[in-house]
Each structure stands twice: as structure tokens, then as C-alpha cells.
């Protein structure tokens, strides 16, 4: 079993102290063109509370204070997972899990959403809620919003772990009425992943990135399930791309380009090795081959007869 599947099968999606409202199928049936938005709150992370919350880890520091050690580790982790990557990873994986069903198959392309909200091709996403009214000209009638409020590394019961916490909601653009709201949380410990070594992370923070990606992917699976209610009058599986508002080719995101690339793989060459290409471009006809004259059938002993000497 892969790391991602292992996390997806064991990670618990918590309510994180947030009011919860299930998405009703009757409400979802009224949606035609949703827009997905994901963002990271200001000061969301990475937050590190390893040495301040664990005396056993703090005892390894020598003369460095626990607060200074946590702050130093935070600085080491910041470049590893950008706000843009964390937000985009959550959004893209939720949509990918449900994109074959209406109305998700008719969602506004992410590049158009980012352009309208002025976050197109930027490495950092805004922490504050944007002006969602800008999505109306694109045909959007509702918004699915994910907000990552906190993430980082902490020590829980003596075990260093990665963790994330945030909220999700869906609302109508017309009247602002909410159709769905939830909180989400997840940790690497709940997923059964190996505890991180805080001392090693300072020089090699890649394990933090790998675990955060796995946790975000698993949270997206749970969120996708909540966005797939069963009490619907319609909205069953549809062929991929049915009714989809497509993105212009030059405005596709890297994820969209990879998906389109996989769909456009050319068929294999069916020409057999013995086939010789025929040149149909030449209009000149080759002259017919001259046949060799028949051989002389006269026997060597025969002498030609002169009719005048008879």
C-alpha cells in the first residue's frame, strides 16, 4: 500500500470546533456552475511547537531556549511548502475526486477563477477572502471555498507530528446563503506515519513536505465525500467534460495541461516493419524496361545457304 493510500484509509476528518452543516442533494441539484477557491489564512504556518510542548525534546537543546529552537525550525520549514502549493493541492484534489458528476463537471475553470480574483500565476495566495462577486461574469452561481487556518509540526503525547486544520463551505453567489459548512483536521500520527525527527528537519526539511502533502491529499478525500450527497434527484456520473466550461489552451494550469496531455496520447504506429512507404508525390512515369533480344537459335555446324548457288 502506498503512503498516500495508507493515509487516506486511516486519517480522520475532524470538525475542529466549527459549526457543521451537511450539503443537501436538493440544494446541489440547483447548482449549475460552481467555482472552487482555496486559500491559506495569514500566519497559518508553518507553526512549530515541538520543544515548547515537550520537555524531553527541550532537554536535547543544550543552551538554546525552546522558543528559539521552535522559531529556528519554523524558518527552515517555510520554503518547503508555499501557501500557493498548499491551497492549490487541496482544491485540485477535491475537484479531481468529484469532477465526473454534475455540477462539478461544469465548474468554472480554475485559471479563469484565479484571473478574476487576481491570483493568476502568483506564488502566494491572499489570506483574506477575495471579492467573490467578480466570479459572476464567468457564469458562476456558487462558490466552494477551502481555508487552511493552521498547519505545521507539533509534539503530541511525546510524538512529533505534522498537522493541518481548516474550514470548508459552499454558498450561493446570488443571496450568499450557505449550503454546506465543515471543519477539517488531520495529523500524521492518526495516519500511522513515522514520527518526524525535529533535529533532522533543521537540515533536511523534505520529510515535512512529504507528510504535509499526504495529509492534505487525505483531507481532500474526506471533503470530496461530503460534497457528494446521495439524496439527489439527479447528478449521477456523466462522461468527463460534459457541459464543462473549458479553459483556453494558453491559460491552463499545470494540472490541467497534464490531464489534457494524458487524454491526447496518439495511437501507436500501425505500420508493419515490412511495409515500404510509397512515394505518391512524383508524377513521372518510369520508362518500361527493354527486354533482351532472343538468343541465336542457329546450330554451330549449320552453314547459311545461298539460294543463288543452287
Per-position pLDDT tens, the chain of length 310: 444 434 444 444 444 445 789 999 999 999 999 999 999 998 898 999 999 998 888 888 888 899 999 999 999 999 999 888 999 999 999 999 999 999 999 999 999 999 998 875 445 555 577 899 999 999 999 999 999 999 999 998 889 999 999 999 999 999 999 999 999 999 998 877 899 999 899 899 999 999 999 999 989 999 999 999 988 875 444 444 433 434 444 444 444 454 455 445 454 454 444 444 545 444 444 555 555 555 555 444 445 555 554 4
H-helix or E-strand spanning residue 124:
none
Cell numbers found for residue 150: 493552521
C-alpha separations of 178 from 63, 112, 143, 247 in Å: 52, 23, 10, 27
> What pLDDT, on a 0 to 100 scale, did the predictor assign at position 123?
52
pTM for the complete prediction? 0.69
> What pLDDT, on a 0 to 100 scale, did the predictor assign at position 271?
45
Rg of the chain over Cα atoms, rounded to whole angstroms, equals 34
> What pLDDT, on a 0 to 100 scale, did the predictor assign at position 291?
52
> What pLDDT, on a 0 to 100 scale, did the predictor assign at position 124?
54
Residues 6+ apart with CB under 8 A from 163: 150, 151, 152, 153, 154, 185, 186, 187, 188, 215
C-alpha separations of 138 from 53, 104, 121 in Å: 48, 15, 18
Q: List helix spans (H) across 39-82.
A: 55-58, 66-77
Task: Identify any residues that bridge with 155 across adjacent strands, giving them in sequence order.
Answer: 160
CB 128 within 8 A of CB 63: no
Q: What is the DSSP string of 39-50?
A: EE-TT---EEES
Q: Is 210 helix (H, G, I), strand (E, B) or coil?
A: helix
Residues 6+ apart with CB under 8 A from 24: 179, 229, 231
Q: Which of 247, 248, 261 is nearest to 107 (CA)?
A: 247
CA–CA distance, 85 with 73 (Å, rounded to integer): 20
| CA-based torsion, 133, 42, 108, 228: positive or negative | negative
DSSP category for residue 251? G
> What pLDDT, on a 0 to 100 scale, did the predictor assign at position 134?
94
DSSP category for residue 101? B
> What pLDDT, on a 0 to 100 scale, did the predictor assign at position 158?
87
Amino acid at each position: 500500500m502506498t503512503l498516500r493510500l495508507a493515509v487516506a484509509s486511516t486519517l480522520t476528518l475532524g470538525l475542529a470546533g466549527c459549526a457543521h452543516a451537511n450539503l443537501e442533494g436538493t440544494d446541489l441539484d440547483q447548482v449549475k456552475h460552481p467555482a472552487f477557491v482555496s486559500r491559506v489564512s495569514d500566519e497559518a504556518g508553518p507553526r512549530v511547537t515541538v520543544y515548547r510542548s515537550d520537555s524531553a525534546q527541550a532537554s536535547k537543546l543544550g543552551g538554546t531556549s525552546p522558543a528559539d529552537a521552535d522559531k529556528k525550525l519554523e524558518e527552515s520549514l517555510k520554503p518547503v511548502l508555499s501557501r500557493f502549493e498548499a491551497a492549490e493541492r487541496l482544491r485540485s484534489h477535491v475537484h479531481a475526486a468529484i469532477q465526473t458528476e454534475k455540477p462539478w463537471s461544469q465548474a468554472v475553470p480554475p485559471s479563469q477563477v484565479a484571473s478574476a480574483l487576481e491570483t493568476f500565476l502568483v506564488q502566494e495566495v491572499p489570506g483574506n477572502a477575495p471579492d467573490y462577486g467578480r466570479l459572476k461574469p464567468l457564469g458562476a452561481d456558487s462558490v466552494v471555498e477551502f481555508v487552511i487556518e493552521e498547519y505545521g509540526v507539533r509534539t503530541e503525547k511525546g510524538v512529533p507530528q505534522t498537522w493541518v486544520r481548516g474550514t470548508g463551505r459552499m454558498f450561493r453567489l446570488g443571496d450568499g446563503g450557505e449550503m454546506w459548512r465543515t471543519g477539517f483536521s488531520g495529523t500524521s500520527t492518526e495516519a500511522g506515519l513515522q514520527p518526524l525527527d525535529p533535529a533532522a528537519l533543521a537540515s533536511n526539511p523534505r520529510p515535512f513536505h512529504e507528510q504535509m502533502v499526504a495529509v492534505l491529499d487525505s483531507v481532500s478525500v474526506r471533503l470530496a465525500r461530503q460534497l457528494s450527497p446521495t439524496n439527489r434527484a439527479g447528478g449521477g456520473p456523466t462522461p468527463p467534460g460534459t457541459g464543462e466550461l473549458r479553459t483556453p489552451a494558453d491559460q491552463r494550469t499545470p494540472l490541467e495541461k497534464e490531464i489534457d496531455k494524458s487524454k491526447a496520447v496518439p495511437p501507436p504506429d500501425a505500420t508493419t516493419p515490412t511495409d515500404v512507404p510509397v512515394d505518391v508525390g512524383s508524377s513521372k512515369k518510369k520508362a518500361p524496361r527493354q527486354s533482351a533480344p532472343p538468343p541465336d537459335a542457329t546450330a554451330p555446324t549449320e552453314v547459311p545457304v545461298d539460294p543463288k548457288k543452287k
